[in-house]
Amino acid sequence: MVRALEKYIRPGVKSTPFCPGCGHGILMGLILRAIDESKMDMKKMLFVSGIGCAAWIPSPNFNGDTLHTLHGRALAFATGAKLYNPDLCVMVISGDGDLSSIGGNHLIHAARRNIDLKVICANNMIYGMTGGQAASTTPKGARTSTTEEGNPYQPFDLCNLVKAAGATYVARFSVTQPVALVRAIKKSLLHSGFSFIEVLSPCPTQFGRRNRPDRPDEMMKDLIRRCILEEEAKGLTQEEMAERIITGEF
Amino acid sequence: MPSRWVKSPFPKGMHYLSGNDAAAEGAVAAGCRFYAGYPITPSSEIMERMALRLREVRGVFIQMEDEIASISAVIGASWAGAKAMTATSGPGFSLMQEAIGYAAFTETPCVIIDVQRAGPCTGQATRVGSGDIMQAKWGSHGDYQVIALSPWSVQEMYDLTLGAFNLSEQYRVPAFVMADEAVGHLRESMSVNARVEIWDRKKKKGGSPFGTEEKDGVPPMPAFGEGERLLVTGSTHNELGFRKTDAPEAHAKLVERINKKILNHRSVISGTEGYFLDDSEIFLITYGFTARTSLFVVKRLRKEGKKVGLLRLKTLWPFPEEAVAEVVKRGKKVMVPEMNQGQVVGEVRKLCPGEVIPLNQTDGEVIRPETIMDELKKII
């Protein structure tokens, strides 16, 4: 039996490398769904990624041109490819640490230039691949392998950061909001300019293990509970707001 | 590998230019149609001229936010099919090393011009030095080969930049032009021919982009958008580009092939130029601007009847071992003047059974003829 999106998976790829309970597998399927529903020509797509778990979403799984680069540099590589061949539809898929820590400088400049890149930032609020170190998006107080006493620093609000830098399509959704997320990815595919979609994706293995909730199903339910739209935030108290995550288009 | 001849984009005849400007013209002549760079003294003029010229020849120019972004964009553009280049100096060259390793391991053709200045670190930004020679070969981690050329005139800033592109395409390897502030800012006449010979990367539809059984060890290189479903990665990979981070054979095979690919062709790639080699007993072995001064010294001493000769290294990497070994076995004494604390002298020593005397100068200035003359007279 051939599954509907199988043509987008590179022949020979039998499985993903993601941990059980990781949100990246869901994100991977949603990206392909958006590409399929938008009837994109895979021959014209270019998938660029950095280093980290999210960067292994397109490489080698996607059945198109993939460019797996250096840690933090996906946007710079992508800029070169896109400027030389503007006919390519360039999607950058990488993690929060790769795009906003080591890659932070390239992120704000690519946004400033409004280069036509479709950036999908899988945010699991941790450095997963290397064993659970603190990231620029780790919540204050969270335990990581380098902040056993609790992270002392504020995390980035990636959407605010990128919008201030000049991005022209900015959205945040969770892997627990698949319908909205596919719609946003489709919009970004058609958008002419720098688009940035932050995707909340749980990491039970590294983040869950040191914090609560830790079970994959509990982390998903937690995301469902906490992710709200801007309108829904209006009726909430400060205390209720503290643990909410605002999703939507900004 | 077949080449083709194209009409020179710069008018044929004699021109009076700076070295930096000549390098930009050499790049455009070679077919460079993508430049991403960051300003740094004393290389910025190359970027500025490329900004102008690429607009004229309908290429792509972008000034990036830093040197790491610049070399990254160059590599991305190269995989999109471009002949791509950047120019920098010591501090920028240091920043680019990780990406240089990426270009070597993924076999991405690209050209970097290092207009060297007095280092280490910020050093003397507007002064000259040759301190980056070893870094060109060993700057990134791991075992890889690069091609590095050493121009000694404005003419060679044009010729060797053109040459760097050709070699880079032929061997799918990063190629460097190890210039310096002296030759970069020097103004001289240079001549441009009506047509230039250029090489392009191998193409083969459906061919494995990262492995080959062919003798030259150079696989064909598709571009994005050609339907080849490329798998470019900096991880160890097989001939199709699949990550092979657990297999010892895969790592051994790839590391060996990318090194052998260059070393097996050293005699063809590496260029030297000899002056008065046949009957000399004392040799100067040097490169770049220092070689010019050295030639003046050798000619002067020859007029005085002294049997001295000069071997000029046009290629620094892969090190021209055969040419150097040939000369040193004949010579009683070898002197290696360099604007550093001794970088090429070590390579010469590996090949020389006799005495090798370094002449090191790191004061931000070119070595004067009198300095070389005085030191040579001590050993003649």
In order, the DSSP letters of B231-262 are EEESS-B-TT--B-SS-HHHHHHHHHHHHHHH
Task: Give the per-residue pLDDT at B1.
Answer: 78
pLDDT of A67 over the 70 cut: yes
Length of chain B: 380
* Predicted confidence band of residue A3 (pLDDT cuts 50, 70, 90): confident
Q: What is the mean pLDDT of residues A162-173?
A: 98
Contacts of A109 in chain B (CB under 8 A): 64-65, 69
Domain A20-229+239-249 superfamily per CATH: Thiamin diphosphate (ThDP)-binding fold, Pyr/PP domains (3.40.50.970)
Q: What is the mean pLDDT of residues A167-185?
A: 98
User: Whole-angstrom Cα distance, residue B249 to residue B265?
Assistant: 24
* Predicted confidence band of residue A201 (pLDDT cuts 50, 70, 90): very high
Give the CATH number, domain containing residue B93.
3.40.50.970
* Cβ under 8 Å to B: A residues 9-48: 10, 12, 43-44, 46, 48
Q: Which residues of chain B are under the pLDDT cut of 70?
A: none
Partner-chain contact B234 A77, CB within 8 Å: no
User: Whole-angstrom Cα distance, residue B342 to residue B328?
Assistant: 17
* B75 in a structural domain: yes
Q: Is B325 helix (H, G, I), strand (E, B) or coil?
A: helix
- B37 part of contact set with chain A, CB < 8 Å: no
- Whether B281 and B180 share a structural domain: no
Which residue of B38, B85, B97, B224 is the best one to mutate when testing the A interface, meaning the one whose CB has the most A CBs within 10 A?
A: B224
Task: Give the per-residue pLDDT at A91.
Answer: 98
Task: Give the per-residue pLDDT at B112.
Answer: 98
Partner-chain contact A81 B76, CB within 8 Å: yes
* Predicted confidence band of residue A235 (pLDDT cuts 50, 70, 90): confident
Give the start-end residues of each E strand in chain B.
Answer: 3-7, 13-18, 34-37, 60-63, 84-88, 110-116, 147-149, 174-180, 187-192, 195-199, 231-233, 272-275, 282-287, 308-313, 315-317, 333-338, 355-360
Partner-chain contact B241 A46, CB within 8 Å: no
The pLDDT > 70 percentage for chain A reads: 99
- A175, A200, A238, A242 from A233: Cα distances, Å: 20, 18, 10, 11
- B60 part of contact set with chain A, CB < 8 Å: yes
Task: Give the per-residue pLDDT at A126.
Answer: 97
Q: What is the mean pLDDT of residues A61-66?
A: 98
* B49 in a structural domain: yes
Kindly state the tokens that stand for B343. 């970088």
Kindly state the tokens that stand for B376. 């040579």
Domain termination site, one of B161, B180, B199 = B199
pLDDT of A230 over the 80 cut: yes
- Whether B113 and B26 share a structural domain: yes
User: Whole-angstrom Cα distance, residue A125 to residue B265?
Assistant: 49
Nearest to A44 among B78, B223, B225 (CB): B225
- A77 part of contact set with chain B, CB < 8 Å: yes
Angle at B219 between CA B213 and CA B223, to 5 degrees: 150
Give the start-end residues of each E strand in chain A.
Answer: 45-49, 65-68, 89-95, 117-123, 169-174, 195-200, 227-229, 245-249
* Predicted confidence band of residue A242 (pLDDT cuts 50, 70, 90): confident
Partner-chain contact B72 A69, CB within 8 Å: yes
Task: Give the per-residue pLDDT at B104.
Answer: 98
Task: Give the per-residue pLDDT at B56.
Answer: 97
A56/chain B closest Cα distance in angstroms: 11
pLDDT of A4 over the 90 cut: no
- Please tell me the total count of domains within chain B: 2
* Cut 0.95: pTM above it: yes
Partner-chain contact B68 A73, CB within 8 Å: yes
* B220 in a structural domain: no
Give the CATH number, domain containing residue B344.
3.40.50.920
Cα-Cα-Cα-Cα torsion A185, A187, A189, A191, nearest 10 degrees, comes to -140
- Whether B192 and B288 share a structural domain: no
Partner-chain contact B225 A78, CB within 8 Å: no
Answer for the pair B276, B327: CB distance below 8 angstroms, yes or no. Answer: no
B137 sits in the region (left: phi over 0; alpha: psi -120 to 50; else beta) called alpha
Q: What is the pLDDT of residues A85-120, one digit of tens each?
A: 999 999 999 999 999 999 999 999 999 999 999 999
A228/chain B closest Cα distance in angstroms: 36
- B16 part of contact set with chain A, CB < 8 Å: no
Q: Could you report the predicted ipTM of this complex, rounded to two decimals?
A: 0.97
Domain termination site, one of B140, B175, B199 = B199
- Whether B316 and B180 share a structural domain: no
* B61 in a structural domain: yes
- Whether B62 and B195 share a structural domain: yes
Kindly state the tokens that stand for B5. 């001849």
User: Whole-angstrom Cα distance, residue B128 to residue A129?
Assistant: 44
Which residue of A8, A59, A67 is the best one to mutate when testing the B interface, meaning the one whose CB has the most B CBs within 10 A?
A: A67
Cα-Cα-Cα-Cα torsion B34, B56, B183, B158, nearest 10 degrees, comes to 80
- Whether B100 and B188 share a structural domain: yes
List Cβ neighbours of B102 (8 Å cut-off, separation of 6 or more): A69, A70, B75, B108, B234
Task: Give the per-residue pLDDT at B331.
Answer: 75
- Whether B184 and B329 share a structural domain: no
Q: What is the pLDDT of residues B211-249, one digit of tens each?
A: 999 999 999 999 999 999 999 999 999 999 999 999 999
Q: How would DSSP label each residue in B272-309?
A: EEEES-TT-SEEEEEEHHHHHHHHHHHHHHHHTT--EE
pLDDT of A1 over the 60 cut: no
Partner-chain contact A84 B68, CB within 8 Å: no
Positive or negative, the CA dihedral A50, A56, A60, A64 is negative
Task: Give the per-residue pLDDT at B238.
Answer: 97
> What is the distance, to the nearest Å, from the Cα of residue B105 to the centroid of all Cα atoms in its chain?
17
Contacts of A49 in chain B (CB under 8 A): none
B195 C-beta neighbours (distance < 10 Å), count:
12
- Check residue A7 and report its DSSP letter: G
- Whether B124 and B17 share a structural domain: yes
Partner-chain contact B73 A106, CB within 8 Å: no
Can you give the residue range of the structural domain that contains B78?
3-199
Contacts of A46 in chain B (CB under 8 A): 80, 224-225
Task: Give the per-residue pLDDT at A2.
Answer: 66
Q: What is the mean pLDDT of residues A9-16?
A: 93
Task: Give the per-residue pLDDT at B137.
Answer: 98
Domain termination site, one of B140, B174, B199 = B199
- Whether B50 and B141 share a structural domain: yes
pLDDT of A23 over the 80 cut: yes
Amino acid in position B178: M
A47/chain B closest Cα distance in angstroms: 10
Contacts of A12 in chain B (CB under 8 A): 242
